[in-house]
Amino acid sequence: MHTATTTPTTAPATATAGSAVAHRERPATTTKLTGLTGHNTTALTGIDGWTVTKTTATYAGSPTAALNAVQKRMDHVRATEGGRATGYASLIAVRNKLRECSTGASHPAVTVTVKRAKKTTASKTTRTGSTALSPKARLTRKRQGEHTTAELVSALEAAWSAIRTNHTEVPSVVIIVGSGTATKQAKYGHFAPTRWQLGEQALAEVLISGEGLKRPVEEVFTTLLHEAAHALADVRGIKDTSRQGRWHNQKFAALASELGLDTTKDPRIGWSPCTLRQETAATYKSVLADLKAALIAYRHPEMVAGTSTKNNNNAIACACQCPRRIRVAKQVLEEGDITCGVCEATFVPDE
């Protein structure tokens, strides 16, 4: 879902006695959502006040009233079928966009415009047939003159909302798409607490690297769950990493397992590598389908300048999991791993 447009509709003109000019009542507000997915429109079908087509849905009322109608359906579905019911995650995505419209908050995937209907007199005539629209008015999320990332960001946010539905302690975050290779250590994502401010509320940031969008949808969703495990650790006050966030300890592995991931131990980064369980993929089947449809582009890696070819005999500072620290000549370090006799972890260079 890309745009949410609030457009007033004009009530029929009523003529008053002795007056040659027809008066119009105050325009009634309608709320229109465009660029919806099939899951969105299916979830909205049958809700009172909503008129649904293939990719659009219009509610006869304000964004606040539309939000209340969707929330009422969500409460009913959750009470009768549970939070994993078919279409529930799609209702969450629609609700979140309507909530932003009703509060006036800005969002990179939503554009809100409010227009007042122009008053016209009864003597004016209009053309029959469809009204000609300007090229700008004809644009929607799925019918753009150029490629737009709005659908991608919206799908990532809907996936995060679905995770929060099943794991209520996972906090709300700001999701961004950016470079994962701009630094020496490449990454598929990161979690950073209190990076954003919304009024009095501090929000964490979850980055999904554009380079990682080339992977299968299951792996992209695994990255979201990986970052959700870090978010859960932050909420619970658990220290799940060390070495500037590179080493993932067994506490992280436990949190990742709670969210539906299997972890394996890597000698350099700990329990960071994750895979999606089959039952977890089944739980988020509709979410994965929506996310897969949005993964239509990916980012090329940064062309990072090569390291200096100048001979440097300075020792390199390394740390293990303890963490104990040693300094080793680069040539010695390149000959093979150096293992700590206390924690049995490999010494890795500090960055």
Average pLDDT taken over every residue of the chain: 78
Name the token pair of 307: 């390291």
Q: Is 183 helix (H, G, I), strand (E, B) or coil?
A: coil
- Return d(Cα 124, Cα 246) in angstroms, integer: 70
Q: Which long-range contacts (CB under 8 A, 24 or more apart) does 165-169 make?
A: 165/83, 165/88, 165/89, 165/92, 166/83, 166/84, 166/283, 167/228, 167/232, 167/258, 167/259, 169/232, 169/235, 169/236
Element (H, E) at 218: helix 217-236
Per-residue pLDDT, averaged over 329-349, amounts to: 81
Q: Could you give the percent of the chain with pLDDT greater than 90?
A: 33
pLDDT digits (tens, 9 = 90+) for 203-237: 999 999 999 999 999 999 999 999 999 999 999 99
Lowest mean pLDDT among 257-261, 304-308, 314-318: 304-308
- Only one residue has tokens 């260079």, namely 349
pLDDT digits (tens, 9 = 90+) for 128-165: 444 444 444 444 444 444 566 888 999 999 999 999 99
Higher pLDDT, 191 or 181: 191
pLDDT of residue 43: 86
- Return d(Cα 41, Cα 59) in angstroms, integer: 12
pLDDT of residue 26: 47
Q: How confident is the model at residue 177 (pLDDT cuts 50, 70, 90)?
A: very high
101 pLDDT above the threshold of 50 = yes
pLDDT of residue 117: 41
Per-residue pLDDT, averaged over 117-137, amounts to: 45
pLDDT of residue 220: 96
Q: How confident is the model at residue 277 (pLDDT cuts 50, 70, 90)?
A: very high
pLDDT of residue 236: 94
Global pTM value = 0.50
- In the chain, the amino acid numbered 261 is L
User: How far, in whole angstroms, is CA 86 from its chain's centroid?
Assistant: 20
Non-local (6+) Cβ contacts of 76 within 8 A are none
pLDDT digits (tens, 9 = 90+) for 27-41: 467 888 887 888 888
Per-residue pLDDT, averaged over 309-335, amounts to: 75
